[in-house]
Amino acid sequence: MSQKLWGARFKEDLHPAAKCFSYSLATDYALLSSDVKVSMAHVSMLGKVGLISKQDTKKMIRGLWQILAILKRKDISALMLEVEDIHTLIQETLEKKIGKLAKKLHTARSRNDLVATSTRLYVINKSKALALRITQLQSALLRQAEKNEKVLVPGYTHLQHAQIVLLAHHLLAYVEMFRRDFERVISIRERLSECPLGSGALAGSGLPIDRAYVAKLLGFKRPSANSMDAVSDRDFVIETISHLAILMMHASRLSEDLILWNSSEFRFVTLSDQYSTGSSLMPHKKNPDMLELIKGRTGEAYGHLMSVLTTMKGLPLTYNRDMQADKKPLFEALDLAELTLEVLTGVIGTMDVNKEACQQALQDSFLYATDLLEYLVGQKVAFRDAHDAVGRLVQYALDSHTHLSGLKLVDFQKFSPKFKKDVLDIFEPQASVARKVSSGSTNPKMVKASITKWKKQIKQTSAKLRKSRQFHA
- Is 284 considered catalytic here? no
**Angle ∠(383,386,389) on CA atoms, nearest 5:** 155
- Is 158 considered catalytic here? yes
Is there binding between residue 126 and ligand ARG (CB under 6 A)? no
Least Å from the CB of residue 60 to ligand ARG: 21
Whether 45 and 117 have beta carbons less than 8 Å apart is answered as no
Is there binding between residue 323 and ligand ARG (CB under 6 A)? yes
Least Å from the CB of residue 121 to ligand ARG: 14
Is there binding between residue 89 and ligand ARG (CB under 6 A)? no
Q: Using the minimum distance from each CB to ligand ARG, give the nearer residue, 22 or 430.
A: 22
d(CA 461, CA 174): 17
Is there binding between residue 319 and ligand ARG (CB under 6 A)? yes
Is there binding between residue 243 and ligand ARG (CB under 6 A)? no
Taking Cα atoms as reference points, which of 378, 370, 363 lies closest to residue 429? 363
Least Å from the CB of residue 71 to ligand ARG: 17
Taking Cα atoms as reference points, which of 270, 275, 266, 260 lies closest to residue 340? 275
Least Å from the CB of residue 323 to ligand ARG: 5
First-to-last C-alpha distance (Å) of the chain: 29
Q: Using the minimum distance from each CB to ligand ARG, give the nearer residue, 136 or 232.
A: 232
Whether 324 and 236 have beta carbons less than 8 Å apart is answered as no
- Kindly tell me which residue out of 38, 67, 68, 115 binds ligand ARG, with binding defined by CB under 6 A: 115
In the region spanning residues 151 to 180, those forming contacts with ligand ARG, defined by CB under 6 A, are none
Catalytic residue (choose from 15, 77, 158, 284): 158
Least Å from the CB of residue 197 to ligand ARG: 14
- Kindly tell me which residue out of 35, 85, 92, 233 binds ligand ARG, with binding defined by CB under 6 A: 85
Taking Cα atoms as reference points, which of 112, 90, 409, 65 lies closest to residue 232? 112
- Kindly tell me which residue out of 15, 158, 284, 321 binds ligand ARG, with binding defined by CB under 6 A: 321
In the region spanning residues 8 to 27, those forming contacts with ligand ARG, defined by CB under 6 A, are 24
Give the per-residue contact string, 369-398, with ligand ARG (x = CB under 6 A; - = no).
------------------------------
Q: Using the minimum distance from each CB to ligand ARG, give the nearer residue, 10 or 399.
A: 10
Q: Using the minimum distance from each CB to ligand ARG, give the nearer residue, 9 or 321.
A: 321
Taking Cα atoms as reference points, which of 112, 108, 121, 90 lies closest to residue 25? 90
- Would you say the C-alpha torsion 169, 173, 174, 179 has a positive or negative sign? positive
- Kindly tell me which residue out of 112, 118, 125, 144 binds ligand ARG, with binding defined by CB under 6 A: 112
d(CA 173, CA 316): 44
Determine how many CB atoms are found less than 10 A away from the CB of residue 14.
15
Which range, of 107-115, 212-220, 278-286, 436-444, touches ligand ARG by CB under 6 A? Answer: 107-115
Taking Cα atoms as reference points, which of 24, 48, 36, 26 lies closest to residue 102? 36
Least Å from the CB of residue 85 to ligand ARG: 5
Catalytic residue (choose from 53, 187, 279, 400): 279
Q: Using the minimum distance from each CB to ligand ARG, give the nearer residue, 86 or 258.
A: 86
Active site residues: 158, 279
Question: What residues make contact with ligand ARG under the rule CB under 6 A?
Answer: 24, 28, 85, 111-112, 115, 319, 321, 323-324, 327
